[in-house]
Amino acid sequence: MTNHAVRLGASVLALTAVFATSACTDGAKTPAPESSAAAGPPAASSTPSAPSASPPSPSSTVVPRTTEAAIARYLTMLHALSRGDLKTVCAIAGPAAKQAEAEGFGKCRTTMAITRSMFSATQLKALRTATVSRSKVTRRANGNVDIPARAVIADARFTEHDLSDMTLSYRHGNWFIID
Protein backbone atom coordinates (compact mmCIF):
# COMPACT_ATOMS: atom_id res chain seq x y z
CA MET A 1 0.00 0.00 0.00
CA THR A 2 1.36 3.43 -0.90
CA ASN A 3 2.10 6.07 1.70
CA HIS A 4 -0.55 8.29 0.08
CA ALA A 5 -3.19 5.55 0.35
CA VAL A 6 -2.34 4.97 4.01
CA ARG A 7 -2.57 8.70 4.75
CA LEU A 8 -5.82 9.00 2.85
CA GLY A 9 -7.48 6.11 4.63
CA ALA A 10 -6.22 7.19 8.03
CA SER A 11 -7.44 10.76 7.49
CA VAL A 12 -10.92 9.64 6.64
CA LEU A 13 -11.06 7.23 9.57
CA ALA A 14 -9.60 9.75 11.97
CA LEU A 15 -11.94 12.58 11.00
CA THR A 16 -14.88 10.23 11.29
CA ALA A 17 -13.74 9.21 14.74
CA VAL A 18 -13.28 12.83 15.78
CA PHE A 19 -16.77 13.74 14.86
CA ALA A 20 -18.19 10.76 16.69
CA THR A 21 -16.21 11.18 19.92
CA SER A 22 -17.25 14.76 20.34
CA ALA A 23 -20.76 13.65 21.23
CA CYS A 24 -19.29 12.53 24.51
CA THR A 25 -17.89 15.98 25.04
CA ASP A 26 -20.71 18.20 23.83
CA GLY A 27 -20.66 19.84 27.26
CA ALA A 28 -17.34 21.41 26.31
CA LYS A 29 -18.90 24.09 24.17
CA THR A 30 -16.89 26.73 22.41
CA PRO A 31 -18.78 29.80 21.32
CA ALA A 32 -19.04 30.41 17.60
CA PRO A 33 -17.36 33.61 16.47
CA GLU A 34 -19.80 36.50 16.39
CA SER A 35 -18.20 38.09 13.36
CA SER A 36 -18.09 36.85 9.79
CA ALA A 37 -16.94 33.37 8.79
CA ALA A 38 -13.58 34.83 7.78
CA ALA A 39 -12.82 35.96 11.35
CA GLY A 40 -9.62 34.95 13.07
CA PRO A 41 -9.25 31.89 15.29
CA PRO A 42 -11.63 31.87 18.25
CA ALA A 43 -10.67 31.19 21.82
CA ALA A 44 -10.74 27.60 23.03
CA SER A 45 -13.28 26.39 25.54
CA SER A 46 -12.19 26.09 29.14
CA THR A 47 -14.81 23.46 29.94
CA PRO A 48 -13.42 19.97 30.57
CA SER A 49 -13.97 17.49 27.76
CA ALA A 50 -14.45 14.38 29.86
CA PRO A 51 -16.88 11.96 28.24
CA SER A 52 -20.41 12.02 29.52
CA ALA A 53 -23.39 9.78 28.91
CA SER A 54 -25.93 12.57 29.38
CA PRO A 55 -26.76 15.01 26.61
CA PRO A 56 -25.02 18.36 26.72
CA SER A 57 -26.73 21.19 28.49
CA PRO A 58 -27.96 24.07 26.37
CA SER A 59 -25.34 26.61 25.43
CA SER A 60 -25.19 29.61 27.78
CA THR A 61 -24.78 31.79 24.71
CA VAL A 62 -27.49 31.85 22.11
CA VAL A 63 -25.99 30.73 18.83
CA PRO A 64 -28.19 31.44 15.82
CA ARG A 65 -29.53 28.58 13.70
CA THR A 66 -28.10 30.21 10.60
CA THR A 67 -25.88 28.77 7.91
CA GLU A 68 -23.37 31.50 8.73
CA ALA A 69 -23.23 30.37 12.37
CA ALA A 70 -22.68 26.77 11.23
CA ILE A 71 -19.83 27.92 8.99
CA ALA A 72 -18.32 29.89 11.87
CA ARG A 73 -18.48 26.80 14.10
CA TYR A 74 -16.83 24.69 11.38
CA LEU A 75 -14.08 27.29 11.04
CA THR A 76 -13.61 27.23 14.81
CA MET A 77 -12.93 23.50 14.49
CA LEU A 78 -10.52 23.92 11.56
CA HIS A 79 -8.59 26.70 13.28
CA ALA A 80 -8.42 24.65 16.48
CA LEU A 81 -7.14 21.65 14.53
CA SER A 82 -4.40 23.81 13.04
CA ARG A 83 -3.28 24.90 16.53
CA GLY A 84 -3.48 21.41 17.98
CA ASP A 85 -6.40 22.41 20.23
CA LEU A 86 -7.95 18.94 20.22
CA LYS A 87 -10.24 19.78 23.13
CA THR A 88 -12.08 22.30 20.98
CA VAL A 89 -12.05 20.01 17.93
CA CYS A 90 -13.57 17.18 19.93
CA ALA A 91 -16.17 19.45 21.52
CA ILE A 92 -17.45 20.53 18.12
CA ALA A 93 -17.23 17.10 16.50
CA GLY A 94 -19.02 15.33 19.33
CA PRO A 95 -21.89 13.49 17.68
CA ALA A 96 -19.81 12.15 14.78
CA ALA A 97 -16.91 11.22 17.04
CA LYS A 98 -19.22 9.36 19.41
CA GLN A 99 -20.58 7.34 16.50
CA ALA A 100 -17.08 6.48 15.24
CA GLU A 101 -15.99 5.47 18.73
CA ALA A 102 -19.01 3.16 18.97
CA GLU A 103 -17.90 1.62 15.68
CA GLY A 104 -14.52 0.74 17.15
CA PHE A 105 -12.40 3.82 16.52
CA GLY A 106 -10.37 5.35 19.33
CA LYS A 107 -11.10 8.29 21.56
CA CYS A 108 -11.42 11.65 19.85
CA ARG A 109 -8.23 13.26 21.13
CA THR A 110 -6.12 10.25 20.24
CA THR A 111 -7.62 9.92 16.79
CA MET A 112 -7.39 13.66 16.08
CA ALA A 113 -3.75 13.77 17.16
CA ILE A 114 -3.05 11.08 14.57
CA THR A 115 -5.09 12.95 11.96
CA ARG A 116 -3.29 16.21 12.68
CA SER A 117 0.09 14.52 12.25
CA MET A 118 -0.91 13.58 8.69
CA PHE A 119 -1.17 17.18 7.58
CA SER A 120 1.96 18.91 6.30
CA ALA A 121 3.28 21.98 8.11
CA THR A 122 2.11 24.04 5.12
CA GLN A 123 -1.43 22.64 5.40
CA LEU A 124 -1.60 23.24 9.16
CA LYS A 125 -0.43 26.82 8.67
CA ALA A 126 -3.05 27.32 5.95
CA LEU A 127 -5.82 26.01 8.22
CA ARG A 128 -5.09 28.78 10.74
CA THR A 129 -6.56 31.35 8.37
CA ALA A 130 -8.86 29.17 6.27
CA THR A 131 -12.30 30.46 5.35
CA VAL A 132 -15.31 28.87 3.67
CA SER A 133 -16.99 29.82 0.42
CA ARG A 134 -20.64 30.36 1.42
CA SER A 135 -21.79 29.64 -2.14
CA LYS A 136 -20.57 26.03 -1.88
CA VAL A 137 -22.38 25.35 1.41
CA THR A 138 -25.83 23.73 1.37
CA ARG A 139 -28.61 23.91 3.94
CA ARG A 140 -30.89 20.86 3.96
CA ALA A 141 -34.66 20.95 4.48
CA ASN A 142 -34.13 19.48 7.98
CA GLY A 143 -31.87 22.43 8.89
CA ASN A 144 -28.55 20.57 8.74
CA VAL A 145 -25.71 22.31 6.93
CA ASP A 146 -23.36 20.50 4.53
CA ILE A 147 -19.86 21.92 4.10
CA PRO A 148 -17.91 20.15 1.36
CA ALA A 149 -14.11 20.06 1.51
CA ARG A 150 -14.07 22.05 -1.76
CA ALA A 151 -15.70 24.98 0.09
CA VAL A 152 -12.56 25.50 2.22
CA ILE A 153 -10.48 28.42 0.99
CA ALA A 154 -6.89 28.21 2.20
CA ASP A 155 -3.32 28.91 1.13
CA ALA A 156 -2.76 25.17 0.66
CA ARG A 157 -4.63 22.53 -1.29
CA PHE A 158 -7.08 20.29 0.55
CA THR A 159 -9.18 17.49 -0.88
CA GLU A 160 -12.19 15.66 0.50
CA HIS A 161 -9.69 13.00 1.57
CA ASP A 162 -7.77 15.53 3.68
CA LEU A 163 -10.72 17.28 5.31
CA SER A 164 -13.80 15.26 4.38
CA ASP A 165 -17.17 16.75 3.59
CA MET A 166 -18.93 17.65 6.84
CA THR A 167 -22.52 17.94 8.01
CA LEU A 168 -23.37 20.16 10.96
CA SER A 169 -26.57 19.97 12.97
CA TYR A 170 -28.00 22.44 15.48
CA ARG A 171 -28.26 20.71 18.86
CA HIS A 172 -28.54 21.98 22.41
CA GLY A 173 -28.10 25.60 21.35
CA ASN A 174 -25.05 25.21 19.12
CA TRP A 175 -23.77 23.64 15.91
CA PHE A 176 -22.05 20.23 15.99
CA ILE A 177 -20.47 18.07 13.31
CA ILE A 178 -22.58 14.96 12.95
CA ASP A 179 -21.11 13.39 9.81
Per residue of the chain (179 residues), give pLDDT as tens.
333 333 333 443 444 433 333 333 333 333 333 333 334 334 433 333 334 333 444 456 789 999 999 999 999 999 999 999 999 999 999 888 888 888 988 899 988 888 899 999 999 999 999 999 999 999 999 999 999 999 999 999 888 788 889 999 999 999 999 99
> How would you classify the pairing of strands 152-153 and 131-132?
antiparallel
Q: Which pTM was predicted?
A: 0.68
Q: Alpha helix locations (H) across the chain?
A: 3-21, 67-83, 86-92, 94-102, 108-117, 121-127, 160-163
Neighbouring residues of 86: CB distance < 8 A, sequence distance ≥ 6? 80, 108, 109, 112, 113, 116
Determine the residue type at 5. A
